[in-house]
């Protein structure tokens, strides 16, 4: 069984406190309430506090009761966030984005997770429910395989958020593979819509993953003083993973452009074939039209007016001319 499973029992959310967990140091944790969070001091041991950023009580606690600096508090509560790393006076802040797995949401509309720690506490804030956080919580509460320290909690949160991006990237690659393998079996308009949808997803994901790659690199290059021995090892793997995501999205973008060019070329080829057929038909019937128009003028002196077989003779001559034209076109390989 994987160490990451859906939590069997939901955390007891309370007025902006999604959950708080005190770490026991053996991979397990116990729930704490608002009173325990507000009374917490360093001798009480490591604690992980997860808050709903939209809650008034959570915002008040972060700004006025958490002992965070004003700059750090504002960074955690900012409305619009891009992945970044912020070294404050009291701790390290990391803002990352994870795929949106909530019902009715698009996975590429990535959800922000704000993480702060000073080595004794880790505080996380969410905008929407993020399954990656629940994975770590399940490991702590349900399975006893969670992080033992605050530093390990920090890096495992970052690693798990990035791990869950992988299936979204794989899904995009599967879609582009399907389009490429069925390119000739679909209508061009349908293919264009599918390619445009894939390009839009890729652009949205890359918009967040590119700065996230830079943030992972900064965490790896400049770890905090309280970082554990496994910090660099875990973050190096996570950094390589995010770099791979960005490269895969770049490849998807290039493949989408190639498919778009193929569609344009196919439509141009169809148009050229149609125009060629029309040109050949026009060339065949141009002399015939000229003759029929010439013989149809209503003036005196027209040959065959008094001959009852003139129509059939003319029709036969036109048929012979048609056969000769087709033979000439075939000889010239125009047909």
Name, in order, each residue with C-beta under 8 angstroms of 296's C-beta and a sequence gap of 6 or more.
none
State pTM to two decimals. Answer: 0.78
Evaluate whether 35 touches 41 at the Cβ level (below 8 Å): no
Domains and CATH numbers, the chain: 17-264 (3.30.460.20), 271-331 (1.20.58.340)
Q: Give just the sign of the alpha carbon dihedral 196, 198, 204, 207.
A: negative
User: What pLDDT, on a 0 to 100 scale, did the predictor assign at position 236?
Assistant: 93
Between the CA atoms of 114, 117, 121 and 127, what dihedral angle is there, to the nearest 10 degrees? 0
In this structure, the number of other CB atoms found within 10 A of the CB of residue 112 comes to 21
Which tens digit of pLDDT belongs to each residue from 238-263?
999 999 999 999 999 899 888 888 88
Higher pLDDT, 316 or 232: 232
Ranges 11-20, 191-200, 279-288: which has the least confidence? 279-288
Higher pLDDT, 314 or 164: 164
Smallest CA-to-CA distance from 24 within 149, 143, 153, 137 is with: 149
Give the residue-averaged pLDDT of 41-52.
94
Name, in order, each residue with C-beta under 8 angstroms of 294's C-beta and a sequence gap of 6 or more.
none
Which tens digit of pLDDT belongs to each residue from 215-234?
999 999 999 999 988 898 88
Predicted confidence band of residue 7 (pLDDT cuts 50, 70, 90)? very low
Mean confidence (pLDDT) of the chain: 85
Evaluate whether 155 touches 230 at the Cβ level (below 8 Å): yes
Predicted confidence band of residue 119 (pLDDT cuts 50, 70, 90)? very high
Which tens digit of pLDDT belongs to each residue from 260-312?
888 888 778 888 888 887 787 787 777 777 777 766 766 556 676 667 677 77
Residue with tokens 């701790």: 91
Give the residue-averaged pLDDT of 118-140.
92
User: What pLDDT, on a 0 to 100 scale, did the predictor assign at position 294?
Assistant: 64
């Amino acid at each position: 069984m994987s160490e990451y499973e859906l939590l069997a029992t939901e955390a007891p959310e309370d007025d902006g406190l999604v959950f708080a967990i005190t770490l026991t140091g053996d991979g397990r944790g116990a729930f704490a309430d608002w009173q325990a969070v507000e009374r917490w001091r360093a001798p009480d041991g490591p604690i992980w506090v997860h808050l709903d950023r939209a809650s008034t009580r959570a915002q008040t606690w972060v700004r006025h009761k958490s002992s965070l600096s004003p700059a750090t508090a504002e960074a955690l509560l900012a409305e619009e966030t891009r992945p970044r790393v912020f070294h404050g006076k009291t701790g390290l802040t990391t803002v990352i984005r994870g795929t949106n797995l909530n019902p009715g949401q698009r996975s590429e509309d990535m959800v922000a997770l704000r993480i702060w720690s000073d080595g004794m506490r880790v505080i996380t804030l969410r905008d929407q429910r993020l399954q990656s956080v629940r994975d770590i919580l399940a490991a702590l509460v349900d399975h006893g395989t969670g992080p033992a320290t605050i530093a390990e909690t920090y890096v495992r949160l970052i690693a798990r958020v990035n791990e869950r991006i992988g299936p979204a990237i794989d899904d995009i690659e599967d879609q582009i593979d399907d389009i490429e393998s069925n390119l000739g079996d679909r209508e061009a308009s349908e293919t264009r819509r599918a390619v445009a949808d894939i390009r839009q997803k890729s652009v949205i994901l890359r918009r967040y993953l590119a700065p996230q790659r830079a943030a992972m690199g900064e965490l790896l290059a400049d770890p905090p003083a309280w970082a554990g021995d496994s910090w660099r090892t875990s973050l190096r793997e996570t950094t390589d993973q995010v770099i791979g995501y960005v490269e895969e999205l770049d490849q998807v973008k290039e493949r989408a452009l190639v498919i778009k060019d193929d569609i344009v070329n196919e439509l141009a080829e169809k148009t050229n074939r149609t125009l060629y057929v029309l040109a050949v038909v026009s060339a065949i019937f141009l002399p015939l039209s000229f003759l029929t128009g010439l013989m149809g003028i209503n003036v005196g002196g027209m040959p065959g007016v008094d001959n009852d077989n003139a129509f059939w003779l003319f029709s036969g001559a036109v048929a012979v001319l048609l056969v000769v034209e087709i033979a000439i076109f075939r000889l010239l390989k125009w047909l």
